[in-house]
Amino acid sequence: MKILIADDDPNKMRQLKSFVAQEFVDAEILECNSFNSALRCAMLDEPTVILLDMTMPTFDVGGKETGGYERRYAGFEVLRRLKRRRKARRVIIVTQFERFGEGADQMTLDQLKEQLATQYPENYIVTVYYQASDAQWREDLKAALEMAIERVVD
Amino acid sequence: MGKSRTASIRRVPEGLNRRSVRPFSSPILAGIKPDEPSLILLKEQPVGYIRHLLEQVPQSAAGLVGELFPKTLKALRLKHTSPCSDLASELRWLTAIFLRHKEMLEQWVSIRSDFERSFLSGDYDQARILLAEAELRFGKSIWAIESSLLLSDCSEGIEGNRLTLRTVTSEAPNWIAVLSTFLSERVETALAPMEYEAVVQSHLDFNDDYHPIARSAFFRVSPAKRNSITNLVDVLNIEESHSLCDRLIVSTWVLENLISQRSTDQETESSEVVRALVGSIDCPRFLFLRKVLTGFPLGEPSPLEQMVFRAVHFYTLGDYENASSCAERAMVASPETLEPYELFVKSKLRLGHVPNCPFNQNSIAAKICSNLAVVFSREEKINSALESLLRIGYQLDGFEIGPQLRAFYALHSYESNPHVLNRDGAIYSSIFTPRVAVSLFKDSSIVCSELESMERLHPSNAAVSLFKANQLAVRSNSAELQIGLSIPSKRLLRNEANICEQLHLYDAATSKYDEVLRDTNSTLGEKSEAAAGLYRCLTAKNEISKAARLIVETSLERPQIIGKSTLVELLKQYPEGGDDEVSSDIAWPILQFLSQQLEYEEKSPSKIHDVFEDFLIACSCKKPSELFEISNQFNAREFSFFLRNVCAFEVLAESFWFESQDEIAVERISICEWLIENDPDNRRIDQDEIAEISRIRAVRELTHHAERSRIFVDTDAIIESLPKTIIDRATRCMTLGMLKDVSLRKTIEITKALMEEIDNSRIFIIDEGFRLFKQVFEDLKTQFLSSNKYGLDANLSQRIRHGTLAGALRAPFESQGLVTLKDSSGSYMQNEHWTRRVCQCETDAIGLNESLAEFSACVDKIIYRVRNEWVQIRQSPESSSALFNFDFTEDQLLGLYEETLSAESPDGMVRRVFEALWQRTDEALKEVRATIENALSSELFEAIKQSEQRIDSVLGHEQSMPIRAAFTTCGTHLTMALKAISEWFRLDEQKHVPDCQLRSLLEASTQAAKQFCGPSRLEISLLLDNDVTVPGAQFRALWDMFFILLDNAAKHSETAQTNVVLEVFASGPVIKMVCKNDLSSTIDLDLLKEKAGRLNQMTADEHSLATSRVEGGSGYGKLHKILCYEMGLDNYRVLVSADSNEFQAVIELEVPWRRQ
């Protein structure tokens, strides 16, 4: 089973990787740090499950690459593209935010969950709220991953 | 109009019933104002009764109807009127009042028309006289206030507007002051309508269930929402506080609202009272509405109507000379109505003339004309012309032409060349023309009846005949027009096409539309209309791909030909997720692009990308450059358009086949190169783009070099400048080291203690060679670390500690508004950014500001420690937190000594020592990088955590959510920033920097300065007269020099934002840089001048150079170091000066690399 982790925050990435490696020993972990690389991997490498951050830069930062513009709803866009290409990937959104966007575009975490569930029922599993200082995310993510794997089996 | 409409108007309205006993009439007639229930009852009475009563009411009961002609602004105060539960009663009440004052109202309407004419034609003096006369005769009114604001704004600009507003608000009651404030903004020339509506929305929070006063205010000030308000009772009720003329304006809007919301041609349930109201006075607007609402014949046509009908007659016949002169006469006589303008402009364009307006060229009428010309000729600036017309429509909301312009905008921003009007366009018309009749009524029999009425009033009118023939053809299911007049064949063809379309004869319609479209003599307007018709027919036949092909073939010539409705509707037909058969047509990505370029849809690169990607997949390609090989499969013009416009940077950035911005740049360059070769007519555009991409890449590359490695010690220069004593010592050290017999190297260690007590001291035998080596090593280490010219410490100071480090560490916090600066008293400033967003009361604000001030202090303390303790060279055991540790143990030195003995020359020994120092530097850098990414990161994240918890307890979890989200974002940015900062601590690879252009270097360094310099925010204007190539080896020095100049401006201007002008002149070997920045008015100028004098005395001497290792100064010592030693210049000049509001630094240098 391939699990893709797409996140631009190095600390969060480290935590997620170590958690997945520990809980799902057999899983092959794929790692991406931007919208673009996440999308490429999601489309081409056929991960079974994707742990997807909502806000990411366009490109992987490094070397001369500064990352391009930051996409507030990169996660949404990845889901939209998966749906458009009818790709059967199970997506778990892992976010550190309780509120997204600004002004008229602003939405709470609950609103985000509802929107994701309504718009992308084929791909979206659940959203996990990640807080580095709180262990709750580990339990939530474990349950979410089990749910995703179960759905794959179905 | 059907019989029922005609019959209904014969019903005599219920009037006075003298025998009725109405209990409330006696007190009223006795001069006593009735109580609320009685007033409600009174309003429910027939109009005739109310009117009779009002005629009998003595002066003492005048308050019954409010002040109709208020003498002062104060009299316009909002009265507490009794809410009435039904609209009919309010309309009856209003009708009675209008009938009672019919003559006065008609006089006011006449003077208002004169005012509008004068204003529109640009005669503002006359408009002012008329406005004053109206106020004198009819009292104060909201209309007069609005007109006065408008006059002031158009004749004296925003200042005049604001002065008028100030006068009004100082005298008027609050309600009027509030309305006037909105009106002042609405008449502003510079305020865009959407912006204005957003302002209204934010203040009044539109909701039909909202407070009656707010709803009434909305109705008054928001043209966009006026027709969507359904509860009009309160609106009319509140109008009782206003003058008679204001009530007439609002009642007109109410009537328009009722028609607008009518779902059928039938009359509304309030039709009887509505009929009575529109019949109450004989003003042009009421006459028009009477016709629309009741079918009441208009009677003898007005002179304006006659002129307009003659103009449309000639226009229909193709006699554009006569059409334009009739329209011009109508326009001059009635510039307050839009119809004549439209006819005039269209006729002139048909004649191939520029539609020169007969009014003053600066008048609003002239502006309307010129913008209409752009719209009708479908020029490139069509959107901007439509926006201008909308803006005028907002300014002139109180005029007859205002709503007409807004309706025109709504119609033309969607339809390309409308055959019929939209509903609002018909409702707001001034003249009941055939087009209005066709647009207003859905029932064909009613339309025919109306056209017959027109025919009686305007016999043999070609337009009426043509419209009637169209109706009859459709009704008789015949595709042929039965008309005896000599109408131009193209017009007949277009009409026939339209009839065929209505009869669902799509093949016939398609061929007729196609004929119009392909006729080279067709105007763009006609082509546009034909393209829209073709599209409708093809989609009706479900031939979507054909429609797309047709539209793209038509639109590449002039995209504006394709109307919004056509393009938007077509794109909706595109299959979701693509479909190889459809998607393989290049038309789709082009059309998706055009739709956004024409602003028919919001900009969305991802939406373009969807169709672009489908197209590439259908062509079995991943990147556009792969299409070059199969380019012969596409129409050359379409393919070039696709490559040049659709495959733009932002669309390619959506594709996962490109892994970086640089890869996209390479792809774009290859596209441009292909286009240069294959579409040479547009070569210039593509060459310019290649130049621009190359420039951006160069800037990125240079920024990368500058950011990546900042540590550099010029050991070659140190070696060249080493004192002879060191070399002598090294030579002797080597000579001793060469002695094969090791014992011969030994000598007695002669120390001070030994000499003082020579008999009692123990004699130590040491290796003389090693002793000398240690001396040499210490000397070289001192040079390596502390040389003011070339050493490491000066380098750390110049490139890292001097401003940059603090700026870079603070940036993630500043970008989220989480830290503030200290004020002159040393306290952290209030955090307005977050106080405004999350605080609900004073206590919240105090708590939050305390927490954030504490956080700012904590962050700054950490930054201070990093800069002043960590990024330092360990000089003594006390400075143990300094991360650059150059302490060597005795064993380490001995090992090094033995190693150096193998060197072939003293020079080799020196180089070996430097290698060891480099190695140690590298180890230190590793430690610095690790410390930044671990210890520093932990400290800063701990500070974030603590602050989040404090703020959570101050504001509560829910309320603090936005600021905690900012902390989270800040955390991600901080991690990236720390990673980037840690990259600074690498050895500089100067030799690998390629030659670059001075412009790119300037852009890159100014970008960095904007990012890192503070506390003042930099606004930099860059002026370069002549771009020159800079050798890679000089890049870093110049970068640092520009950075220091800009950093000084940010540090010392004492303003929140510093405007900097950086001018660079390059001529021959001389480069002159002038850096000017503004200064705070509070700055001590004498002190600054004195300082400037001192700086001008500075040279690259040891004293100046010593300052190059110190932070907090002017940085000029560092500048001299760079110029003299890093760039090796012997001919340069640095001159600074200050006057009352500007600081200027001039650096002039003669560079050897520019000498021929």
Mean pLDDT of B1115-1135: 84
Worst-scoring range by mean pLDDT, A35-39, A44-48, B1106-1110?
B1106-1110
**Residue B41 or B387, more confident:** B387
Which value, to the nearest 10 degrees, does the dihedral of the CA atoms of residues B90, B93, B99, B103 take? -80
- Tell me the pLDDT tens digit for each residue of B350-405: 998 988 888 988 999 999 999 999 999 887 788 889 999 999 999 999 999 999 99
Answer whether B701 touches A (CB < 8 Å): yes
* Residue whose C-alpha is closest to residue B1066's, from B1035, B1112, B1105, B1024: B1024
Q: Which of B421-435, B729-743, B873-887 holds the top average pLDDT?
A: B421-435
Which chain B residue lies closest to A106 (C-alpha atoms)?
B962
Q: What letter does residue B400 receive in the DSSP assignment? A: S
pLDDT at residue B197, rounded to an integer: 87
Where do the H-state alpha helices sit in B263-356? 271-278, 284-294, 303-317, 320-333, 339-350
Token duo for residue A28 = 């092959």
* Residue whose C-alpha is closest to residue B400's, from B287, B313, B311: B287
Which value, to the nearest 10 degrees, does the dihedral of the CA atoms of residues A6, A12, A15, A20 take? -20
Which chain B residue lies closest to A103 (C-alpha atoms)?
B837
A-chain residues near B700 (CB < 8 A): 64, 66
Token duo for residue B874 = 């360990």
**Contacting B residues, span 911-950, partner chain A, CB-CB under 8 Å:** 945
Mean pLDDT of B20-32: 63
- Do residues B1118 and B1044 make contact, with C-beta atoms less than 8 angstroms apart? yes
Residue B220's SS3 state is helix
Q: Cα(B981)–Cα(B986) distance, rounded to whole angstroms? A: 10
pLDDT at residue B6, rounded to an integer: 32
* Residue whose C-alpha is closest to residue B849's, from B860, B838, B861, B865: B838
Chain A: nearest CA to B577, how far in angstroms? 5
Chain B: nearest CA to A1, how far in angstroms? 23
Mean pLDDT of B722-737: 80
A-chain residues near B969 (CB < 8 A): 55, 97
* Band (B21; pLDDT cuts 50, 70, 90): very low
pLDDT at residue B1026, rounded to an integer: 84
- Do residues B229 and B215 make contact, with C-beta atoms less than 8 angstroms apart? yes
Instruction: Please say if the pLDDT value at position B61 is more than 60.
Output: no
Q: Which of A31-40, B213-222, B1051-1060 holds the top average pLDDT?
A: A31-40
Q: Cα(B498)–Cα(B505) distance, rounded to whole angstroms? A: 10
**Strand A28-32 to B765-767 pairing:** unpaired
Instruction: Please say if the pLDDT value at position B1099 is more than 60.
Output: yes
What phi, psi does B717 have (nearest 5°)? -65, -35
Residue in A84, A85, A98 closest to B961 by CB: A98
CB contact under 8 A, A9 and B972: yes
List for chain B the helix, strand, coil content (%; round to 5).
65, 5, 30
B185-218 CB burial, b ≥16 within 10 A, e <16: bbbbeebebeebbebbeeebebeeebeeeebbbb
- Tell me the pLDDT tens digit for each residue of B224-255: 888 888 888 888 888 888 899 999 999 999 98
Mean pLDDT of B413-434: 76
Instruction: Please say if the pLDDT value at position B928 is more than 60.
Output: yes
B-chain residues near A82 (CB < 8 A): none
Q: Cα(B326)–Cα(B331) distance, rounded to whole angstroms? A: 9
pLDDT at residue B85, rounded to an integer: 65
Instruction: Please say if the pLDDT value at position B411 is more than 80.
Output: yes
Instruction: Please say if the pLDDT value at position B1073 is more than 60.
Output: yes
Chain A: nearest CA to B971, how far in angstroms? 8
- Average pLDDT, whole number, for chain B? 84
Mean pLDDT of B1120-1126: 84
Q: How many Cβ atoms from other residues are within 10 Å of residue A154's Cβ? A: 5
**Contacting B residues, span 962-991, partner chain A, CB-CB under 8 Å:** 962, 964-965, 968-969, 971-972, 975-976, 979
Calculate the alpha carbon distances from B300 to B430, B454, B638 in Å: 15, 11, 57
Q: Could you tell me which residues are beta bridge partners of residue B1018?
A: B1058
pLDDT at residue B13, rounded to an integer: 35
Using alpha carbons only, give the angle A101, A105, A106 rounded to the nearest 5 degrees.
Answer: 50
pLDDT at residue B306, rounded to an integer: 93
How far is C-alpha B207 from the geometric centre of its chain's CA atoms? 28
Q: What letter does residue B1152 receive in the DSSP assignment? A: G
Which chain B residue lies closest to A12 (C-alpha atoms)?
B972
Token duo for residue B913 = 């020592």
**Residue B615 or B31, more confident:** B615
Worst-scoring range by mean pLDDT, A86-95, B82-91, B400-409, B1007-1016?
B82-91
Burial class (CB in 10 A: 0-12, 13-18, 19+), B71: exposed
- Tell me the pLDDT tens digit for each residue of B97-130: 999 899 999 999 999 999 999 999 999 999 999 9
In sign, the C-alpha dihedral spanning B945, B948, B950, B953 is negative
Q: Cα(B15)–Cα(B38) distance, rounded to whole angstroms? A: 19
B252-284 CB burial, b ≥16 within 10 A, e <16: bbbbbbbbeebeebebbebbbbbbbbbbbbebb
The residues near B479 (Cβ < 8 Å, ≥ 6 apart) are B473, B496, B499, B500, B503, B505, B508
* Residue whose C-alpha is closest to residue A91's, from A71, A74, A104, A107: A74
- What is the 3-class SS of chain A, one letter each residue? CEEEEECCCHHHHHHHHHHHHHHCCCCEEEEECCHHHHHHHHHHCCCCEEEECCCEECCCCECCECCCCEECCHHHHHHHHHHHCCCCCEEEEEECCCEECCHHHCEEHHHHHHHHHHHCCCCEEEEEECCCCCCHHHHHHHHHHHHHHHHHHC
B-chain residues near A40 (CB < 8 A): 656-657, 659
Worst-scoring range by mean pLDDT, A117-126, B464-473, B1120-1129?
B1120-1129
**Residue B752 or A137, more confident:** A137
Instruction: Please say if the pLDDT value at position B511 is more than 80.
Output: yes
Mean pLDDT of B464-476: 91
Residue in B606, B658, B968 closest to A97 by CB: B968
* Residue whose C-alpha is closest to residue B219's, from B205, B230, B229, B211: B229
* Band (B149; pLDDT cuts 50, 70, 90): very high
Instruction: Please say if the pLDDT value at position B73 is more than 80.
Output: yes
Mean pLDDT of A67-85: 92
* Residue whose C-alpha is closest to residue A54's, from A105, A19, A122: A105
Residue in A9, A36, A86 closest to B577 by CB: A86
Token duo for residue B1155 = 């000498």
The yes/no answer to whether this complex scores an ipTM above 0.90 is yes
Which chain B residue lies closest to A36 (C-alpha atoms)?
B656
The residues near B857 (Cβ < 8 Å, ≥ 6 apart) are B828
Where do the H-state alpha helices sit in B76-101? 87-100
Token duo for residue B899 = 């190693």
pLDDT at residue A103, rounded to an integer: 62
Q: Cα(B894)–Cα(B897) distance, rounded to whole angstroms? A: 5
Q: Cα(B426)–Cα(B31) distance, rounded to whole angstroms? A: 46
Instruction: Please say if the pLDDT value at position A139 is more than 80.
Output: yes
pLDDT at residue B235, rounded to an integer: 85
pLDDT at residue B15, rounded to an integer: 42
Q: Could you tell me which residues are beta bridge partners of residue B766?
A: B747
**Strand B996-997 to B1029-1030 pairing:** antiparallel
User: What's the predicted TM-score (pTM) here?
Assistant: 0.70
Q: Cα(B575)–Cα(B579) distance, rounded to whole angstroms? A: 7
Q: What letter does residue B644 receive in the DSSP assignment? A: I
At B775, which helix (H) or strand (E)? Answer: helix B768-786
- What percent of chain B is modeled with pLDDT above 70? 89
pLDDT at residue B12, rounded to an integer: 32
Q: Cα(B430)–Cα(B338) distance, rounded to whole angstroms? A: 8
Residue B873's SS3 state is strand
Q: What letter does residue B645 receive in the DSSP assignment? A: I
* Residue whose C-alpha is closest to residue A92's, from A130, A59, A65, A131: A130
Instruction: Please say if the pLDDT value at position A141 is more than 50.
Output: yes
- What percent of chain B is modeled with pLDDT above 90? 32
